[in-house]
């Protein structure tokens, strides 16, 4: 925890992950695993592992679980069964077309705003981030979320994430903190549709696309 407070946690874990062996003990009840194949096996609903309450910190709405935050193995297995075809593109006729439109939107943004324009700097990382979010909108709702069209961080979603995620990473070690956040009055601090900024603003954009 001392390393986390001094923003050295990631650097320490990266160094430790390079030590010999598939697992490294990093705490009294914690091990670090960076083997991709092993992580896939552990994450499988058939692996027999039960998720820790830590995963509950990912709830966007108190009491509403996604596949990521569902702890009960049987409930998680049923949810995963329902969404697996969507991830594979089955039953979604516009899956590849949506990705194509997202890429086309990125290329158009670069061409019209930056290509052959002397003195105009382009932040490629930011453009790729916009394109990724718009492509998600294309695949899920057949329409972009507007990041590339407006060429700006809609609702300051990216900016707020960049600032708050390092803090949330540290606080995620305290599961009691997140239990508290999911109860009144602290639950009002969580994102919700209708917020002017942050994840709530993006949820609002998604709600608008769903209603169209």
- Residue spans of the domains in the chain: they are 1-43, 49-91, 92-152, 153-212
Specify the pTM. 0.65
Q: Residue 112's pLDDT is what? A: 92
- Dig out the tokens for 29 from the structure: 């009840």
Mean pLDDT of 135-143: 84
Q: Residue 149's pLDDT is what? A: 93
Quote the CA–CA distance of 64 and 75 in Å, as a whole number: 13
Q: Residue 109's pLDDT is what? A: 94
- Dig out the tokens for 12 from the structure: 């320490």
Q: Residue 90's pLDDT is what? A: 62
Rounded percentage of the chain residues whose pLDDT exceeds 90: 17
Mean pLDDT of 5-22: 70
Q: Residue 91's pLDDT is what? A: 60
Report in angstroms the alpha-carbon separations of 30 from 23, 27, 156, 166, 173: 10, 5, 35, 20, 11
Mean pLDDT of 182-210: 70
Are the C-beta atoms of 175 and 133 separated by less than 8 Å?
no
Q: 69 versus 140: which is more confidently predicted? A: 69
Quote the CA–CA distance of 127 and 148 in Å, as a whole number: 7
Are the C-beta atoms of 203 and 192 separated by less than 8 Å?
yes
For 59-105, write each residue's pLDDT tens digit. 777 778 888 888 888 888 888 888 777 666 666 667 788 899 999 99
């Amino acid at each position: 925890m001392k390393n986390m407070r001094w923003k050295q946690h990631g650097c320490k874990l990266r160094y430790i992950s390079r030590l010999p062996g598939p697992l490294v003990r990093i705490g009294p009840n914690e091990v670090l695993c960076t083997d991709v194949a092993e992580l896939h096996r552990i994450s499988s609903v058939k692996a027999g592992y039960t998720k820790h309450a830590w995963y509950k910190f990912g709830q966007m709405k108190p009491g509403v679980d996604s596949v990521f935050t569902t702890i009960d193995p049987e409930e998680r297995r049923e949810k995963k069964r329902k969404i697996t075809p969507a991830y594979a593109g089955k039953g979604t006729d516009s899956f590849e077309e949506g990705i194509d439109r997202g890429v086309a939107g990125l290329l158009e943004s670069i061409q019209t705003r930056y290509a052959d324009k002397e003195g105009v700097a382009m932040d490629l990382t930011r453009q790729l981030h916009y394109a990724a979010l718009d492509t998600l909108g294309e695949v899920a709702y057949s329409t972009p979320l507007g990041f590339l069209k407006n060429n700006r961080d809609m609702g300051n979603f990216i900016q707020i994430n960049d600032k708050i995620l390092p803090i949330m990473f540290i606080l995620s070690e305290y599961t009691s903190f997140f239990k508290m956040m999911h109860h009144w009055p602290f639950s009002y601090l969580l994102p919700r549709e209708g917020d002017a900024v942050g994840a709530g603003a993006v949820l609002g954009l998604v709600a608008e696309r769903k209603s169209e």
